[in-house]
Each structure stands twice: as C-alpha cells, then as structure tokens.
Amino acid sequence: MTCLKAIIIRELLRFLHQRERFLAALVRPLVWLFIFGAGFRAALGLSIIPPYETYIRYETYIVPGLCAMIVLFNAMQSSLSMVYDREVGSMRLLLTAPVPRWWILMAKLLASAFVSVLQCVVFLAIAWVFDIRMQWGGYLAVLPALFLVGLMLGSMGLFLSAMITRLQNFAGVMNFVIFPMFFLSTALYPLWQMQENAPHIATAVVWNPFTYAVELIRFALYLRLEPVALLCVCVCTVGFFFLCLRGYDPRKSFLRAKVD
C-alpha cells in the first residue's frame, strides 16, 4: 500500500505541475465539442437516433466519445512518462523496489485511471455550464465506467511503452494508435449510419476496442448498462495488462536492453 500511495501521489503531482498538459487535455475535446460538433450537426441534421432510440442533440451524443478521447490521450501521456523514466534511469530504480513487479505496474495503471477520471469530471462540468447536460444520476453512474475505460486504455499504453526503445519513436506510435482508434469508433457517429454508408469501415469499428469503451460510457451516462461493452472492456483490460506484464518481464531480451 505504501508503494501504491507513493506512485499515485507522484502521478497526481506530476499532472498538477504540468498545467499545459491539463489545458491540452481539456482544449482538445472542447474544440471537437463546440466547433466540429456544430459542423457535424449541420451535416447530419439537428438530431440523430442513437442505439437507445431517442432524439438528442448531436453535441450531447459526442460527449461520451470525447470523454473516451480524454482517457485515451491521458493513457498515452502516462505511457510516455514511462518511456521517459526508463531513459533517465528512474524506471530501473522503481522496478527494483522490494515489491512485486505486477503491483508496481498496477499502481501506475490505477494512478493513470484516476487522473483520467478527474479530467473527464472537469470536462463534463464545462459542458454542463454550456447547457450540454445529462441526467444527474448519469454523472455518478459514469464514474466507474470511466475508471474501467481508464484501466483498459492505460494497460494498452503500458504495453506500448514496453515495446518502444526510444522516446522519439513514441510520438509516431501515438498518432498511429490514437487517431485510427478514435475515428474508427462510434465516438462521432452511430454505428448504424456507418453500416448503411460504409459497411467495410463498420466492420473495423465493430472490432475496435475503443468502440466498446465509448458505448460503455455513453450508456452509463443514460443510466443504462451495456453488457457487451462491459465484457469487452474487461476482457481487453486483462489481455492488455497480461501483455504489459510480459513486456516488462526482465527475462525478455528487448526489455533488458532498454533498462540496462
């Protein structure tokens, strides 16, 4: 528990001291919400029919996807800090601590998910001020959904950080992972529209884990549970974390070369 507390406090302090990171995490989804949202609404119409068969504003529809975007970018930023720590040598000290390696990685993962939830809460508060609002119960129900999504995307980010040898290479990998995952999902448009207009792309959307993260958040905001999305998020979290443990296994030659 001392290790867990220390890592969480370290991540929170790092996040609070990097004000540019916090502003960037909020500006990006706000631009999509108010600028791109207006353009998409004009193109798609004043309202759309999401899977739960109710008419809503387009801005309200994309709020869950933008929350998932915040979690995704924070997970990648947290993984970037792991690559940086490995290059400066602090990762070697952390991994040689007298605690199990999996617990260190789990503490890092929990800290990243907690920071992601805080960012999403601020974003939802700003959206509420501009009259883009959900049910009050939805704001409470979405918190565990955001945390689960943070665990899934954080596990994926940790796995990527274990596979990257240089800090300079991480920016390219982030763009290669983030933008396809975001655009090939239901963050901006419903699945049924893609199935009607681009069935081949819709197939990629169905196989995209980020799609189920978005749907889990979306249904939670409307006080509904999507069991398929919940199952997919949990399975992907376990799978990515298992790959992360293998990636940070000191017996693997590629990691030993990085740490040494």
For position 253, what pLDDT does the model report?
Answer: 42
For position 136, what pLDDT does the model report?
Answer: 86
For position 43, what pLDDT does the model report?
Answer: 55
Q: Determine the Cα–Cα distance for residues 248 and 168; give it in Å rounded to an integer.
A: 20
For position 13, what pLDDT does the model report?
Answer: 74
Q: What is the pTM of this model?
A: 0.81
For position 251, what pLDDT does the model report?
Answer: 64
DSSP string covering 19-56, please? HHHHHHHHHHHHHIIIIIHHHHHHHH-SEE--TT---E
Average pLDDT score over residue span 32-38: 71
Q: Determine the Cα–Cα distance for residues 63 and 30; give it in Å rounded to an integer.
A: 10
pLDDT band at 227 (very low <50, low <70, confident <90, very high): very high
pLDDT, greater one: 149 or 202:
149
Q: Determine the Cα–Cα distance for residues 259 and 87; give it in Å rounded to an integer.
A: 8
For position 236, what pLDDT does the model report?
Answer: 93
